[in-house]
Structure 1
Amino acid sequence: MILNTDGSKPIYIQISEWIETEILRGDLNSDQKVYSQYQLAEMFNINPATAAKGLNILVDENIIYKKRGLGMFVSTTAQEFILNKRKTHTLQKLIDEIVLEAGRLNVDEWDLFNMIKTANKRRRKN
């Protein structure tokens, strides 16, 4: 992953989202140790405090948990929580933006639906 440093999204948010994606892909599993703030800082060439802030977001959401003296680990409910969060927040926000833009462009529901179906077919081919 390459961090986007243009200022549109804070780096610590990008770090937390990257770890979430690693969990969704199965690269990090339940009760598996997560990268430390220092490992993340080295991997992405960022300040360890920034990496810690990204990890703390995940701790606050119970996606990862701390074991004193051992590090941080993926919670057993992490994958389910991330899926629900991304469906109800991230995906819904994107859909709302698409529907607003479609309205501005006078694209009706049927055309929008067909565009989504076409995009989904392309995704399946890749």
Structure 2
Amino acid sequence: MQFNLDDNSQEPLYLQVARQLEDAIFLKGFDEGEQVPSTTEISKQFHINPATVLKGMNILVSEEIIEKHRGLGMFVTKNARERIKVKRQNEFYSDYIQNMVEEARKLNLSKQQLLDMIERGFEENE
């Protein structure tokens, strides 16, 4: 797994760790039940504090995407990809769809006009 942490990003390092590990799981870089790199491995690779890495990993533990096995490390949970998918669909709705509908209303677009625009977007990007 290759992390690309950005020291200059506005996003804190621990959130970058969580997001990139989540991406790796979602994109099948790790299978259910598979061990993920340890906090020590990640911290040494990027020269960051292990506590920073652990803080990011604990986010994924709280979301039941990875789980701790005492003395063994962290492992991908069963149904982790499905949890990530549902989470991202909910975020997509709140981050994009709600704003898009609000802007469409400001522009006096009908529901059908908005759906036509979305359809056009899909067709243009095939």
Cα distance between partner residues in 1 of 2:120 and 2:25: 28
| 1:6 aligns to 2:9 (yes or no) | yes
Who is 2:53 aligned against? 51
Q: How far off its partner does 1:122 sit?
A: 4.3
Q: Shift of residue 44 of structure 1?
A: 4.3
Aligned-residue offset at 1:120:
2.5
User: Which residue in 2 is equivalent to 1:19?
Assistant: 21
Counterpart of 1:98 in structure 2 is: 100
Q: For 1:104 and 1:82, how far apart are their aligned partners in 2? A: 32
* Alignment-derived partner of residue 78 in structure 1: 80
1:60 equivalenced with 2:62 (yes/no): yes
Q: 1:112 to 1:30 in 2, by over 3 A?
A: same
Gap change, CA 1:112 and 1:75, over 3 Å in 2: same
1:35 is displaced (CA, Å) by 1.7
State the alpha-carbon separation in 1 of the partners of residues 30 and 22 from structure 2.
Answer: 9
List alignment gaps of at least 5 residues for structure 2: none
Number of the residue aligned with 1:116:
118
What's 2:40 paired with? 38
TM-score, length of structure 1 as denominator length: 0.79
Separation in 1, partners of 2:116, 2:84:
28
Tell me how far 1:71 sits from its aligned partner: 0.9
Q: CA deviation at 1:118?
A: 2.6
Cα separation, partners in 2 of 1:20 and 1:69, compared to 1, 3 Å: same
What number of residue pairs does the alignment pair up? 122
For the structure 1 residues 101 and 38, does the alpha-carbon distance in structure 2 shift closer, same or farther, using more than 3 Å as the test?
A: farther
Specify whether residues 39 and 108 from structure 1 end up closer, same or farther in structure 2 by C-alpha distance, changes over 3 A only. Answer: farther
- Unpaired segments of 5 or more residues in structure 1? none
